[in-house]
Structure 1
Amino acid sequence: MKRTLAALLLIFGLAACSDPGAGESATDPSAITWPEATAKLDGVKLTIWAAQNSNTVPKKVIEGFQAATGASVEVVTIPDPYEQGIQTKVATGDKPDLAFWQPTASMLTAINARTNLQPLEGAPWLSSLNPDLRDITGILDGTRYAALVTSPAVEGVYYNKEVFAAHGVKPATDFDNLVELARGLKAKGVTPFHEMGADRWATQWWVQVQLADAAKAGLWDRINSGQEKFTDATVLDAIKRYDALIEEGLFNSDIKTAKFEDQGTALLDGKAAMAVQVNSFFGQLQAKADTATLDKKIGFFPIAPSGNVGTFIPDQSNALVAFKTGDATREAAARQLLTYWMGPGYQDFITDRNTVSLQTAVANPPGVPQALLDVHAAVGASAGSMQALAVANPDLYLNLADMIAGTMTPAQVAEATQKQFEQLAKAAGHLK
């Protein structure tokens, strides 16, 4: 948390000292030009920053783009924690041409999009996107800064179909029903849920799915404005219930030490019936099993207190941003690469990744697993996550992991998260 806040403060400090009229930083978004996707770029070199779980995503696109244009593109892997690493680098003036980045309001704010990123208004591929997804993310203060390339992640329940069938269980219809279902499985000797307490980052999904209805009713607007806090009943009660479910023994016995890799293995092997997770979890499953096996074993359903409602949380593997580097040729080439990616290279891209198409005129590849199609189908009606709708993204997951480890109470989790939120929001100018 200290590194995140320090990087954010440094980014905004440098922005205050910069010349707003320098280079393309002052470019009117409506004046941005978009080169043809396959225009020649001989001698131009571009760099893309990626995380460990996204560094292979652009492989097919890069191959096609280099062959078509003569440009060279290098992918540089930034070690985890990815977002903190990029914020620190950018704060000191080190920028790539493009980077995978979480396209939410809080994370676009964290990278100081207005100063550091190229606006993507008028991008030629926007008219081809599914209207339900076109403006769901990537926009800050009315300006588009991120290009969505894969379906936004959705928080929901992945489950083992064979375990469900063996015990006569069907997908839950709401959160209370999910708990009842879990208790029934436990009574039959099945571990209902698996959690990766050691790797920590997924702990927050359990709280956020409980907040889906509140999010649709304006929870994050109220927290953004200070009218409501993480310490108030809405969020605190969700934290308390998560803690109570853990204490009840509805999770894996090694919850404190289990990691992300363990979670995928446990679900595939039927050692746990369910995991509350996002799309990157299914990417891990795809690395462990083929589509036929996944269709046989793995299902997905969204969940919320009121019913089967998902919570969308686009992550850094879903979108790219293009940086203002001060080099007009490279900035234009970065926009051209995005145009190629979402234009001539798009069909090859989704086929290579075996993932869902975001474009109405481009069909899904034939091998997309059903669970992934079900996740995508949940996006349109889903609620916004904290990351999508809050003006700042505090370390809720770290605090919840400390709760699992026994070093924080639910009340302390809420208090620490609220304090961090206020620090970040004030640094970004959203709270006084």
Structure 2
Amino acid sequence: MKMRYPALVAGVLAIGLLTAACSDPSSGSSDSGGSATAAAWPAQDASLSGVKLTIWAAQNSNTVPKSVVSAFEKKTGATVNVVTITDPYEQSVQTKVATGDKPDLAFWQPTASQLAAINAKTNLQPLDGAPWLDKMEPALKDLTGIFDKTRYAALISTPAVIGVYYNKEVLAKAGITSTPTNWTGLLQDAQTLKTAGVTPFFEMGGNAGAPWATQWWVQAPLAEAAQGGLWDKVNANTTKFTDAPIIDAITGYKKMIDDGLFNSDIKTATFEDQGKALLAGDAGMVMQVNSYFSQLQSLAKTDELNQKIGFFPISTDGNVGTYIPDQSNALVAFKTGDAKREAASRQLLSFWLGDGYADFVNTLNTVSLQPSVPTPSTVPDALLAVAKSLSTSAGSMQALAVANPDLYLRLGDMIQGSLTPEQVAQQTQDQFAQLASAQGVAGF
């Protein structure tokens, strides 16, 4: 049995200890936070000849900056290198940062728990006063990216929503003519598909030891509970992962697996396999987030996607989605101690969400965050459905909890047969308590 959480807690603490002296006064901030001043934001087209920047990205975000980077390099003369960090991305980044290895920018989950995990006050440049903020859709401007009243992350795309991507043709062939309106209906549709000889759900239980999507199956049925203050209770240590409704969601997921509602190769299947399987009609549904659709877009054109792929949010009692801004949705800029590169990082963010934003939205073929920049008419229907569901979605564990334990790793162990649902819940609670204690959260 693998006990991963002591190493992660040590990593969180080490990030603060090893990098506490790395603040750069020229960045317009201090270790205690604060706002970048107007003078801290260079002109978008200022010359950066000879300046080299590094962006860290994950497996599912390393192609996102391609068009922006190319345009920025041409406009400024800078050189920008995008480096893919191995999965599990967040843990790999935290380990590197703890040893003093830092990029100029990185894709990062812009939630309070993950900004705390990277020790934002010490390691990241504050982005308050950024020139693009007033251009943002008001409902999204302050939804995420803020920790301890300071903005540290720049949202570049619509925050991810946990929900079900489905193959319209597969469901129609099985006689399913409408999408489910609650969790019971979802399971009924799954049984219908199974009876028709179709794999109801496809899961990435292998994925090179980082089965990060497994946790969506636990979080989706908690949407109404989250709206009712579940994560506030977890943060106060009055509700635990071993208590209802969280343990119920974990045991429910295990029962679905035991009932044969997932792909037979669930123990080895990967993120890439999910996209291929749904498009090919080898499975009816996939529980995923926005980055999954980016994979689908790399495999098929919009016309085919509109014909085959749909999306619906789902929860225990209805169609409440769960928003979870992930690392592909946002960027952070690090304090590196090099004033010129730090300024260049802010300049790249200004360009990305300024002069370069329309081209970025069109190239990525995604929903715009800025009312003045129209969403391309070619954006697939499923992505529009995701964006529409955001306004009524509930917050995820990552968005509302004070810490982000490795639930997905333990669920992966459960799939492999090395943990029971009860062990998953207890180990996750133990890690959550240690992370909360390390942050000084009251009650832990």
Question: Residues 325 and 21 (structure 1 numbering): CA distance in 2 closer, same or farther, change over 3 Å?
Answer: closer
Cross-structure match for 2:37: 31
Return the offset for 1:21: 8.5
User: Distance in 2 between the 1:109 and 1:421 partners?
Assistant: 13
Structural mapping, 1:101-116, within 5 Å: 101-116=108-123
Question: Which whole-Å CA distance do the structure 2 matches of 1:339 and 1:31 have between them?
Answer: 14
The letter for the 1-side match of 2:309 is: I
CA distance in 2, matches of 1:75, 1:196: 26
1:143 to 141, 145, 150: 150
Instruction: Give CA deviations for 1:214-251 in whole Å, capped at 9, x if unaligned.
Output: 11111111111111110111100111111112222222
Shift of 1:30: 5.2
- Partners of 1:74 and 1:9 in 2: how far apart? 29
Shift in Å, 1:188: 2.4
Cα distance, 1:40–1:366 mapped onto 2, change above 3 Å: same
1:293 corresponds in structure 2 to: 304
SS of 1:274's partner is strand
Pairing of 1:327-342 with structure 2 (within 5 A): 327-342=338-353
Q: CA deviation at 1:317?
A: 1.1
- 1:279 is aligned to 290
Q: 1:194 Cα shift?
A: 1.4
SS of the residue corresponding to residue 155 of structure 1 reads strand
Unaligned 5+ residue runs, structure 1? none
- In the other structure, the counterpart of 1:260 is 271
Structure 1 pair 23–7 and aligned structure 2 pair: CA distance change class (3 A): farther
Q: Which SS does the other structure have where 1:321 is aligned? A: strand
Matches within 5 A, 1:164-313: 164-169=171-176, 170-199=178-207, 200-313=211-324
1: CA distance, partners of 2:400 / 2:167: 31
User: Residue type of the partner of 1:267?
Assistant: L
Given that 1:12 and 1:428 are in contact with CA atoms closer than 8 Å, whether structure 2 keeps it comes out as: no
Q: Give, in whole Å, the separation in 2 of the partners of 1:313 and 1:29.
A: 26
2:66 to 59, 80, 94: 59
How many Å separate the matches in 2 of 1:89 and 1:422? Answer: 24
> In structure 2, the residue corresponding to 1:96 is in which secondary structure?
coil
Distance in 2 (alpha carbons) for counterparts of 1:400 and 1:51: 21
Please report how far the alpha carbon of residue 184 of structure 1 lies from its aligned counterpart in structure 2 after TM superposition. 2.2
Give the alignment's TM-score, normalised by structure 1.
0.95
Task: Say if 2:13 is the partner of 1:9.
Answer: yes
Deviations 1:45-79 (A, max 9, x none): 22211223222211111121122222222222222
Amino acid corresponding to residue 354 of structure 1 in structure 2? N
Q: In structure 1, what is the Cα distance between the partners aligned to 2:14 and 2:310? A: 44
Q: Name 2:387's counterpart in structure 1.
A: 376
* Mapped contact 2:42–2:347 kept (Cα < 8 A): yes
Q: After TM superposition, give the deviation of residue 20 of structure 1 in Å.
A: 7.2
RMSD: 1.7
1:86 aligns with 2:86: no
Counterpart AA for 2:198: V
Amino acid at match of 1:39: A
Per-residue displacement from partner, 1:384-423 (whole Å, max 9, x unpaired)?
Answer: 1111111111111111112222221111110010011111
Matched residue SS, 1:378 = helix
Q: Is the 8 A contact 2:242 2:422 kept in 1?
A: yes
Shift of 1:197: 1.4
Residue 81 (structure 2) aligns with: 74
Measure, in 2, the Cα distance between the counterparts of 1:193 and 1:55. Answer: 27
**Structure 2 Cα separation of the partners of residues 19 and 297 of structure 1:** 50
Partner of 2:56: 49
Q: Cα offset for 1:5?
A: 2.6
**Structure 1 residues 79 and 356: CA distance shift in structure 2, 3 A:** same
Shift of 1:19: 7.9
Among all aligned residue pairs of Structure 1 and Structure 2, give the percentage whose two residues are the same amino acid: 62
